[in-house]
Structure formats: structure tokens, C-alpha cells
Structure 1
Amino acid sequence: MTRTKTLLGTGVSQLDRLFTCLSHPNRRRILTTLAESGPRGEDGQASISLDPNDGGLEVPDGDLAPLERAGFVSWDRRSGTVTRGPNFETVRPFISLVREHREELPEDWPEPVVR
């Protein structure tokens, strides 16, 4: 039996989906920022504002959609916020590795934007 599970019977493994999500700098920045953010707001959930007028991240919708589909983030379009999704813990070990080995990463690896 293989240890790689498929998502929703699509034949796409969770690991493939993870690497696809990590393949874009904006998505890496979002996930890293959420991993490094402490709880905020009334619900105690780490969140990122997507309102550039509020000092939030400017992120195209196309960069959020794959993260949302994978369940790594929950995206509230109405309020313009992104929070950790139900599958966020799947990506957390990779983000931790990045944090621990940041000095070994390419110079263009985006820094998290923690507010």
C-alpha cells in the first residue's frame, strides 16, 4: 500500500498538491506568514489581511485559489482575510523546515510579512 493519498479521487497526491502550492512565491509567502503569525482577532485564528490600504498583502486571486482548494487556507473574500485552513497542518512541517534552514534557501525566497 502506498503512503501517498490522493485528494478527492483526482489522482493528484497530497504531496504533489503541496509542491504545486509551494511552487509560487506568493503562495509560499502566504503559508509562511500564516505559520509564523500568532492568534489574532476574537476567534484566536491567525489571519492575513489582503487589503493593501490596511498594509495587507497584495495577492492575486489566482494565487489563493490553489491554497484554498487544497484546504491549506480559508479565504473570506468578503472581509479580505485569509486564515489557516483545515489542512494547514499538512504544510506546517515544510514551513518549519524552511524556517530552520532559511539561510540555505535562494535569495529570492520571499520573507514572510508578519503584521
Structure 2
Amino acid sequence: MDKVLDMFAKRQRRLILFTLQDGATKHESDFVFRGTDSTDDPHLQLIHTHLPKLAEAGYIEWHRETGEVSKGPRYDEIEPLLDLIDNHADELPSNWP
């Protein structure tokens, strides 16, 4: 559970995971969101921190050469939590996901 909650600790990672719910393959440029957790360059944070961390956990598959991102082999482990958050969005703070 600690590992899962660590993945949800940063808003940008939550948004990446939510964006992949539809099952479509995305490009890493789709995940450069405004209002990220850091004042650092969002793209650098994405490719040096968030995508590698999610890929290492198995929640996403990230192909650095092409920039393609898709659900990883362990995505189904966190999908119930994503559904729970989505189903109770009206009860969560306004900065969620």
C-alpha cells in the first residue's frame, strides 16, 4: 500500500494514471500538465522523475525512444483506487486528481 500511495503522492503522477484509464497509448507530451507540483521544468520532471518511477513500479510502459506511454503490467493493481477516487471526486479537495 505504501508503494501505491507513493505513486499518488504527486499530482502529475495521478494525472498520468487517470489519463491512461481509457486504455489508449499516449505520447509523453500529453502529460506535460500546467499547475504541476514543482517550479522546475514540467517536461524535465516528467522524463526524469514521474515516468521512470511509474514505469519502474510496472504501472506504465514507457518507450523512451518513441515517447509512447501505455498501461503497464501492474496497472490493474491500482485501477480500483483510481475508480474509487473518480467515483468520489465530489468529496475530494478541488486540487484532485
TMscore range, shorter length: 0.7 to 0.9
Q: What does 1:103-114 align with in structure 2 at a 5 Å threshold?
A: 103-110=90-97
Structure 1 gap segments, 5+ residues each: 1-14, 39-45, 111-115
- More divergent stretch after superposition (56-65 vs 79-88): 56-65
> Which of 17, 27, 40 matches 2:13?
27
Separation in structure 2 between the aligned mates of residue 47 and residue 98 of structure 1, nearest angstrom: 22
Aligned to 1:67: 54
Higher percent of residues as helix: 2
Tell me the CA shift for residue 81 of structure 1: 1.5
Please, what TM-score do these two structures have when normalized by structure 2? 0.80
Distance in 2, matches of 1:16 and 1:65, equals: 18
TM-score normalized by the length of structure 1: 0.68
The count of aligned residue pairs is 84
- How far apart, CA to CA, are the structure 2 residues paired with 1:89 and 1:80? 22
Shift of 1:91: 0.4
Which of 13, 17, 21 aligns to 2:3? It is 17
Q: Which residue of 1, 23, 28 corresponds with 1:50?
A: 28
Letter in 1 for 2:88: H
Q: Which has the larger radius of gyration?
A: 1
1:1-30 CA distance string (max 9 Å, x none): xxxxxxxxxxxxxx1111100100000001
Amino acid at match of 2:87: E
**2:69 equivalent to 1:82:** yes
Q: Which runs of 5+ in 2 are unaligned?
A: 33-42
Report runs of 4+ in structure 1 exceeding 4 Å deviation: none
